A = this chain, B = another copy of it.
Amino acid sequence: MWGIPHNTPMVRISASERSATRQRLIDAGKVEFAARGLAGARFDEIALAAGHAKGTIYNYFDSKEALFFTIVKDWCTQLVAGFVTANGASAREQLLEIARLDVEIARKDLDLARVVINQLPGLVGDHRVGVETAIGPGIDLLTAVIVAGQERGEVLAGQSARTLARLFLNVLSAIEQEALASDSELGLDDVLPLVDGCFLRGLVQ
């Protein structure tokens, strides 16, 4: 009985292996969800693309919905974690920074962007709860920025900050959607100018 600490975690794969498998599943999920939507996505395909058996997904995610919302939450986490505001930045500058981050994320991971931008609006019924939960932190961040902007008089005060936050996200997504369309002449580079020139010009100041 000497020598063997029996209370060490008896893992069979290392944390990095587990994490890698999980990431492969997530990556494959992004592709499939982007291509077929939540309802149309098939676990068979995701598992196959990830190089695993179908059952393996259930070692990492409870259900198809769980994998989907993990992906959406991942997007939201990146957005919130990446946001750093400079001292004395205006509401407009901060909103633009969020938009810039979002575009940056989309540029790195087009499938992720397609999932978030195209699929979320169409989710109805029970799935709405999952959507709201998953993107909640992003909405919270935007709301905080807008509240501060309203207090400084930079953002129009007639509407609640939360409503304006959701509106901002909706419109940002709408512009990105066009930019991501395969037959569009717009590219991701055009998103920020459009957000600033078209949308923020009316919302702030």
Residue positions of A touching B, CB distance < 8 A: 1, 3-12, 14, 34-37, 39-40, 53, 114, 117-119, 121-125, 159-160, 163, 166-167, 170-171, 173-175, 177-178, 181, 184-186, 190, 194, 197-199, 201-203
Contact = CB atoms under 8 A, between A and B. Distances in A.
Given A3-B6, A167-B174, A199-B202, 9 more contacts: A5-B11, A10-B53, A36-B124, A122-B122, A122-B123, A163-B186, A167-B186, A197-B202, A198-B201
Contacts of A186: 159, 163, 167
Contact of A185 (B117, B118, B163): B163
21 contacts: A1-B11, A3-B10, A5-B14, A6-B8, A6-B9, A7-B12, A10-B53, A118-B121, A119-B122, A121-B122, A122-B123, A159-B186, A166-B181, A167-B186, A170-B175, A171-B171, A171-B198, A198-B198, A198-B202, A198-B203, A201-B202
A64 to B, nearest CB: 13
Q: Which of A12, A37, A124, A174 has the most CB of B within 10 A?
A: A174
A35 B185 CA distance: 33
A70 to B, nearest CB: 19
Closest 4 CB pairs of A and B: A198-B202, A122-B122, A39-B39, A174-B174
Nearest to A204: B198
Contact of A118 (B4, B6, B122, B199): B122
Contacts of A175: 167, 170-171
Contacts of A185: 159-160, 163
A190 B159 CA distance: 10
A76 to B, nearest CB: 18
Nearest to A182: B128
Contacts of A53: 10
A119 B173 CA distance: 14
